[in-house]
C-alpha cells in the first residue's frame, strides 16, 4: 500500500480512538472510526462471518480504510494535501460528501476545503442541536488536520 496512505491512516487513527457507542452518535457502535454497518459490509464482501466491531483487527481496519475510503474517495490520484483532506473527510462524513468539499475548495484551496467542512459541522448542529456535544472534538480535528497537511 502507498506510503502516503500509511501516513494518512496513522493520522486518522490517532483521532478515531477505540470502541465507542455514544447514544447521540448517528453512526452507532464504532471502533477505530469504523462503524458496525461498514464492518458488516466488508465482512460480507469478503465471505466472512459477522462479528462484533469490538473485535476488529488492525489488518481489517487497514483493509477497510484503504478500500472503502482511500480508493473510493480517489485519494490515490490526488496531491498529498488533498489526498489526506479527502481521506479524513471520507472517514468522518462518508465518501459522497468529499466531492462537495472539493467543489467548495475549487479543487485547489485546502483552506476553503477546511472551511466547507467547518460549515458542514455547524449546519449539522443547526439542524440537530443535540450534536453540539461533538463540536469541540470536530473543531479540534480540523485544527490537527490543518497542521498535518502543512507538514506533508
Is 87 within 8 Å of 57 (Cβ atoms)?
no
* pLDDT of res. 1: 52
Q: What CATH number corresponds to the domain at position 75? A: 1.20.141.10
**Position 102 confidence tier, pLDDT thresholds 50, 70, 90:** very high
Q: Looking at residue 27, what is its pLDDT?
A: 83
Cell readout for 121 is: 459541522
pLDDT of residue 21: 93
pLDDT of residue 36: 96
C-alpha cell at 85: 483532506
Q: Give the range of the structural domain holding residue 98, as residue numbers without chain letter.
A: 3-150
Q: Report the C-alpha gap between 92 and 141 in whole angstroms.
A: 10
pLDDT at 22: 87
Mean pLDDT of 108-134: 97
Question: What was the pLDDT predicted at 133?
Answer: 95
Answer whether 82's CB lies under 8 Å from 8's CB: no
Domain total for the chain?
Answer: 1
3-state secondary structure of 30: strand
3-state secondary structure of 128: coil
| Alpha-carbon span 144 to 90, nearest angstrom | 16
| Tens-place pLDDT, residues 2-20 | 899 999 999 999 999 899 9
First to last CA, the chain: 18
Q: Compute the mean pLDDT over every residue in the chain, rounded to the nearest whole number.
A: 96
pLDDT tens digit sequence for 45-56:
999 999 999 999
Amino acid at each position: 500500500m502507498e506510503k502516503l496512505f500509511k501516513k494518512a491512516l496513522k493520522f486518522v487513527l490517532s483521532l478515531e480512538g477505540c470502541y465507542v457507542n455514544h447514544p447521540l452518535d448517528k453512526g452507532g457502535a464504532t471502533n477505530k472510526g469504523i462503524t458496525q454497518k461498514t464492518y458488516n459490509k466488508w465482512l460480507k464482501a469478503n465471505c466472512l462471518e459477522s462479528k462484533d466491531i469490538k473485535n476488529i483487527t488492525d489488518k481489517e481496519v487497514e483493509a477497510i480504510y484503504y478500500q472503502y475510503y482511500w480508493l473510493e474517495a480517489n485519494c490515490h490520484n490526488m496531491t498529498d494535501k488533498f489526498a489526506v483532506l479527502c481521506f479524513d473527510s471520507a472517514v468522518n462524513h462518508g465518501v459522497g460528501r468529499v466531492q462537495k468539499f472539493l467543489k467548495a475548495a475549487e479543487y485547489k484551496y485546502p483552506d476553503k476545503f477546511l472551511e466547507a467542512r467547518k460549515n458542514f459541522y455547524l449546519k449539522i448542529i443547526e439542524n440537530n442541536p443535540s450534536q453540539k456535544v461533538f463540536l469541540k472534538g470536530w473543531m479540534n480535528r480540523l485544527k490537527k488536520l490543518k497542521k498535518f497537511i502543512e507538514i506533508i
